[in-house]
């Protein structure tokens, strides 16, 4: 990747990871980028680094602009190793005594990740650092999405370096929002649904805080994906929408099946939901990645989960998805449950317990059918779907 000047004397020197397809359980079919930024002034600053295997590319990108040894300071917005993995080599190259700016928790976390003795300069919200004509202001963003996370604002250029906020797992030579298709918003939604959803209340407060500070933002530079330069307000507005407990008139029927009996029920339930004027998406778990399912869950009002019973338990893939969803803490959802069984039929009650633990408004009773659903069973499934659809519209 060739360095891109995104503003006067401000460069994106990050790298693209075209081949990554899994990011700790999140599917990354479009690859990703590890963005890092070089700011030139009387002093020179590097904002974030990249994943360790890409360090040579980072240093090569910097070398196309300046000798890396001329870097006067490094800013680490986030300790996670896709952004800090190259720090040991970068600090060794530029000088271990150069200032390393990070949050107070960032200094603690970096020291726990790397044994080197660096010249940490912990900063607080509102603190400023001058490069000469350019000034950085720091904003702590604890638990968005790590306790060490922070934003860095370049005052004169009105650029917000937002770490993992406002990002997407997307790789492409088109670096800016005005150069890519609307599909990038799906990647941004997926990123929010799978990484930031559980921090939604904090994100709303953070956006309010930024607005109260009166920061003018003409560009947002996340650490993954494209840079928002034409309309940064678009992604901010999307985050406000996704962070609020508001949903669309939409239901998701998520299921797995052994001999298609639960599948037959799922489709009948989806038909019943649709009959009430509710958009519905039936999703077979083993045909979809859980991170793609969560993207659909984000703005759905009803989540209906179907599982056959296997060895007196819910089906393993269903348990896996429910565990994943529980960790992301979706709110303001209606829940439903169904499934087929052979001789015991515990799965439906187990699914119900999980949905209730997530504080879903469960439509009880769920429906379970022994072996293959007959005409009456499919009719009962349809009726259950109608009941869920009515709850969504009511």
HEC sequence for 45-69: EEECCCCHHHHHHHHHHHHCCCCHH
Question: Is 34 one of the annotated active-site residues of the chain?
Answer: no
Structure tokens at 147: 């306790």
Which one of 153, 191, 239, 341 is the catalytic residue? 191
pLDDT in tens, 155-199: 999 999 999 999 999 999 999 999 999 999 999 999 999 999 999
Which one of 164, 223, 256, 271 is the catalytic residue? 164
Question: Is 78 one of the annotated active-site residues of the chain?
Answer: yes
Domain spans of the chain, in order of start: 4-243, 251-393
The domain defined by 251-393 folds into: Rossmann fold (3.40.50)
Question: Is 164 one of the annotated active-site residues of the chain?
Answer: yes
The pLDDT of residue 392 is 97
| Under 8 Å between Cβ of 390 and 336 | no
- Three-class SS state of 284: strand
The pLDDT of residue 2 is 87
In whole angstroms, give the CA distance from residue 64 to residue 33: 19
Structure tokens at 91: 């600090």
Which one of 12, 17, 48, 82 is the catalytic residue? 82
Which one of 48, 140, 145, 239 is the catalytic residue? 145
| Under 8 Å between Cβ of 67 and 47 | no
Stated pTM of the model: 0.94
Which one of 17, 48, 80, 271 is the catalytic residue? 80
| Close Cβ partners of 54 (under 8 Å, ≥ 6 residues apart) | 15, 17, 34, 86
The pLDDT of residue 1 is 72
Q: Which residues pair with 325 in a beta bridge?
A: none
Question: Is 24 one of the annotated active-site residues of the chain?
Answer: yes
User: CA dist 346 to 50, 139, 298, Å?
Assistant: 47, 49, 28
The pLDDT of residue 245 is 77
Q: Which of 151, 154, 116 is nearest to 38 (CA)?
A: 154
The pLDDT of residue 152 is 97
| Close Cβ partners of 5 (under 8 Å, ≥ 6 residues apart) | 11
Question: Is 83 one of the annotated active-site residues of the chain?
Answer: no
Question: Is 92 one of the annotated active-site residues of the chain?
Answer: no
In whole angstroms, give the CA distance from residue 351 to residue 216: 47
Q: Which of 3, 2, 14 is nearest to 161 (CA)?
A: 14
State the residue for tokens 């005409």.
Answer: 375
Which one of 11, 78, 256, 267 is the catalytic residue? 78
**pLDDT under 70 in the chain at which residues?**
none
HEC sequence for 111-154: HHHCCCCCEEEEECCCCEEECCCCEEEEEECCCCCCCCCEEEEE
- Three-class SS state of 10: strand
Per CATH, 4-243 and 251-393 having the same topology is answered: no
CATH superfamily assigned to domain 4-243: Ribonuclease Z/Hydroxyacylglutathione hydrolase-like (3.60.15.10)
């Amino acid at each position: 990747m060739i360095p891109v000047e995104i503003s006067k004397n401000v460069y994106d020197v990050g790298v693209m990871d075209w081949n990554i397809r899994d990011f700790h359980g999140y599917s990354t079919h479009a690859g990703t980028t590890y963005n890092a930024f070089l700011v030139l002034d009387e002093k020179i600053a590097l904002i974030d680094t990249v994943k360790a295997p890409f360090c040579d590319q980072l240093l090569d990108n910097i070398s196309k602009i300046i000798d890396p040894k001329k870097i006067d300071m490094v800013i680490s917005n986030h300790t996670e190793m896709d952004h800090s993995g190259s720090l040991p080599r970068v600090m060794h190259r530029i000088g271990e005594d150069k200032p390393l700016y990070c949050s107070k928790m960032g200094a603690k976390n970096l020291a726990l990740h790397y044994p080197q003795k660096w010249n940490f300069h912990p900063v607080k919200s509102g603190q400023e650092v001058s490069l000469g004509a350019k000034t950085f202001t720091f904003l702590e963003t604890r638990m968005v999405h790590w306790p060490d996370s922070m934003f860095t604002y370049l005052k004169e250029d009105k650029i917000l370096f937002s770490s993992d906020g406002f990002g997407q797992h997307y790789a492409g030579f088109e670096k800016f929002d005005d150069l890519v298709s609307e599909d990038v918003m799906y990647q941004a939604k997926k990123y929010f649904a799978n990484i930031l959803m559980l921090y939604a209340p904090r994100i709303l407060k953070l956006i309010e805080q930024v607005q109260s500070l009166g920061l003018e933002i003409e560009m947002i530079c996340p650490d993954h994906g494209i840079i928002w330069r034409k309309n940064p307000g678009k992604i901010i507005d999307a985050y406000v929408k996704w962070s609020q407990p508001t949903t669309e008139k939409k239901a998701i029927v998520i299921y797995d099946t052994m001999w298609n009996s639960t599948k037959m029920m799922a489709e009948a339930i989806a038909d019943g939901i649709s009959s009430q004027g509710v958009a519905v998406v039936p999703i077979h778990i083993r045909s979809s990645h859980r991170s793609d399912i969560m993207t659909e869950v984000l703005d759905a009002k009803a989540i209906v989960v179907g599982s056959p019973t296997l060895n007196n338990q819910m089906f393993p893939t269903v348990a896996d998805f429910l565990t994943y969803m529980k960790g992301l803490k979706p709110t303001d959802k209606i829940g439903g449950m169904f499934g087929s069984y052979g001789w015991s039929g515990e799965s439906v009650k187990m699914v119900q317990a999980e949905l209730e633990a997530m504080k879903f408004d469960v439509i009880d009773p769920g429906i379970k059918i022994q072996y293959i659903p007959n005409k009456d069973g499919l009719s009962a499934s349809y009726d259950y779907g109608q009941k869920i659809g009515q709850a969504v519209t009511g």
